[in-house]
Amino acid sequence: MNVNTPISGLEHAWAKEGRQPRIAIIGAGFSGMGSIIKLREAGYTDITCFEREDKLGGTWRDNTYPGLSCDVPSHWYSYSFDLNPDWSYRFSYGPEIWAYQEKIARKYDLFPAIQFNNAIRKLTYLGPQWKVESEKNGEEIFDFVIAATGVLVNPAYPDIPGLDSFKGHMFHSARWNHDVALQGKRVGIIGTGSTACQIVGAIAEEVGHLDVFQRTPHWVVPMPQKKYSKAWQTLLRIFPPLQMFIRNFIRRRMEGSFGKATLGDEAEQQKIQEACLQFLEQQVPDPELRKKLTPNYKATCKRLILCSDFYPALQRDNVDLVTESIDAIEPVGVRTKDGELHELDVLVLATGFRAGDFILPTEVIGENGLSLRDFWHGLPRAHRGMTFPGFPNFWMLEGPTGVIGNTCLIDISEHQIGYMIAAINKIRDDKLVAIAPKMEAFEGYNARIAEAIKTSTWASGGCSSWYLDPSGTPNIYPWLPDAYRDDMKNIDFTEYELVS
Ligand code: NAP
């Protein structure tokens, strides 16, 4: 159907017409790819996935910086329905994760469903369908829209005076410029988060000199990296249940430790903080440097960093940790508040992401012409992390408060996909027209979250982080991941407006 087909009222309801729903998915990362696979398995075949870039992979396509690896163990960081016995390392490096995504795409024949280089410009709810405007296709009509646009997607550029005046090479960590050789160069990196720590460890040896600009120290534990043997991979291949056992074991360990530590379990939080302090003591003998690297807030308040080579790199003769705050960027380098100019050839901005954007700046217009931006009013919230009153037949994977800390987001998005498909099946079976959460359900859910989140270390640990929205409230699920999985398994339709 194209947009020239007249649309009026509640006509064109696919379930009443007895046809396949037309489903638009935005984004071909883990969530978008998983949606195509699971929707097809459920019998839905009219699917178009819009991908703004020329390759799939989401964050694993965008991030190609040196040292990139995942701090969730490989056997946990994969689809539950397609475990991979061949992971080479306990913590996979970026290229191997991206290769896994490519392999999945070929195996499940995803490419025909994906339109590359086709960004979505605007979504408008016409009732009960959506007008979807894309760069290449113009306007098209879909019955459902699924935003699988990710969270750590849009690079955050620091608001530092003179940033654009820098005359050397400058790029964000998520837009690594591989044409710039670093050998022997004077390199600066702004930030000391998970990304920066990995980069510093990976490039310290080859650069001429490295300045690491730290605004706030982060808590760090070692990454217990390990290369898997061929014999181990063969064993996993011969005996697949072992993979699921390992996966579940890792999940329980991570959620039982990091998960509980963030959610008010003081003993777990203390255990992690002690482990960080011990690691720092072991790794950094110089008390002055150690002091600079010791955070003054609770461990797990910011995302805990797993990195074994950051501290050793900082102690190399060619590396300086700069803790004086940055005053300005100048054409030849970074000027700190003490007046010192740190001359640089290359400046890397490892300054994180605008995590609060979600699908924005893409315009999403719901019922009565209300935009999602106005509905959020600067504080994005969703019902059960996925849906919004006034935006029927629209789903957001890993939406506001649908990001669950300290676990594997692929697993969370699989549960969200299951929940969404249960709703689509309900529409099909009951020949409904539209579904959207009731306002009171949305408000009640978010009020409970707002209360529960107060005791988390994200809120009370004394730090600032990308988890916080502009009001200073963590935009994250405040209970253990198992509670969310239970929510997702049992959709409560009384929370939803079901239009028949
Ligand atoms: P991030 O955790 O948000 O860290 C950004 C860093 O940049 C912080 O050190 C921040 O300092 C600094 N910064 C930002 N603006 C600045 C400014 N204007 N002046 C000086 N410093 C500034 O970003 P990220 O390291 O890219 O990590 C984001 C998330 O991605 C992680 O939390 C994690 O969830 C994920 N990630 C995971 C892995 C992994 O699996 N190993 C690797 C990379 C990323 P402050 O701390 O003072 O704000």
- Nearest-CA residue for ligand 1 atom 33 is 194
- What pLDDT does residue 11 have? 64
> Where are any strands of DSSP class E within 143-206?
144-147, 169-172, 186-190
The span from the CA of 17 to the CA of 36, in Å, is 23
* Position in ligand 1 atom list of the atom nearest CA 160: 18
Q: Are strands 346-349 and 169-172 parallel, antiparallel or unpaired?
A: parallel
Å from CA of 218 to ligand 1 middle: 9
What number does the ligand 1 atom closest to the CA of 159 have?
A: 18
**Domain segments of the chain: what residues?**
14-56+110-154+354-499, 163-226+235-241+255-349
Q: How many CB atoms lie within 10 A of CB 62?
A: 23
Q: How far apart are CA 67 and CA 71, in angstroms?
A: 12
Per-residue pLDDT in tens (0 to 9) along the chain, 500 residues: 333 343 444 468 999 999 999 999 999 999 999 999 999 999 999 999 999 999 999 999 999 999 999 999 999 999 999 999 999 999 999 999 999 999 999 999 999 999 999 999 999 999 999 999 999 999 999 999 999 999 999 999 999 999 999 999 999 999 999 999 999 999 999 999 999 999 999 999 999 999 999 999 999 999 999 999 999 999 999 999 999 999 999 999 999 999 999 998 999 999 999 999 999 999 999 999 999 999 999 999 999 999 999 999 999 999 999 999 999 999 999 999 999 999 999 999 999 999 999 999 999 999 999 999 999 999 999 999 999 999 999 999 999 998 888 799 999 999 999 999 999 999 999 999 999 999 999 999 999 999 999 999 999 999 999 999 999 999 999 999 999 999 999 899 999 999 99
Cβ–Cβ under 8 Å, residues 359 and 148: no
| Fold match, 14-56+110-154+354-499 / 163-226+235-241+255-349 | yes
User: Which CATH number is 163-226+235-241+255-349's, of 3.40.50.2020, 3.30.1490.190, 3.50.50.60, 3.30.1360.200?
Assistant: 3.50.50.60
Residue having the nearest C-alpha atom to atom 36 of ligand 1: 194
- Give the tens place of pLDDT for each residue, 91-122: 999 999 999 999 999 999 999 999 999 999 99
Could you give the residue ranges of the DSSP H alpha helices within 284-336? Answer: 287-292, 310-314
Q: For 337-391, what is each residue's pLDDT tens digit?
A: 999 999 999 999 999 999 999 999 999 999 999 999 999 999 999 999 999 999 9
Q: How far apart are CA 68 and CA 152, in angstroms?
A: 15
- 192 C-alpha to ligand 1 centroid (Å): 6
pLDDT score of 405: 80
CA of 463 to the centre of ligand 1 (A): 13
What kind of architecture, by CATH, is found in domain 14-56+110-154+354-499?
3-Layer(bba) Sandwich (3.50)
**CA distances, 335 to each of 327, 330, 339, 352 (Å):** 6, 7, 6, 21
- Distance (angstroms) between ligand 1 centre and the Cα of 453 equals 22
Report pTM: 0.95
Q: How far is CA 334 from the centre of its chain?
A: 30
SS3 at position 171: strand
Contact (Cβ atoms closer than 8 angstroms) between residue 187 and residue 344: yes
Q: Exposure of 318 by Cβ count < 10 A (0-12 exposed, 13-18 middle, 19+ buried)?
A: middle
The best mutation among 96, 152, 336 to test binding of ligand 1, ranked by most ligand atoms within 8 Å of the C-beta, falls on: 152
What digits encode the pLDDT tens for the residues 227-275?
Answer: 999 999 999 999 999 999 999 999 999 999 999 999 989 999 999 999 9
**b/e string for 103-128 if b means 16 or more Cβ within 10 A?**
ebbeebebeebbbeebebeebbbebb
Q: Quick one: pLDDT at residue 428?
A: 97
The pLDDT value given to residue 1: 34
pLDDT for the residue 5: 41
144-147/346-349 β-pairing: unpaired
Ligand 1, CB within 6 Å, residue ranges: 69-71, 152, 158-160, 190-196, 198, 215-216, 303, 326, 350-352, 464, 466
Tokens 């709810």 label which residue?
125
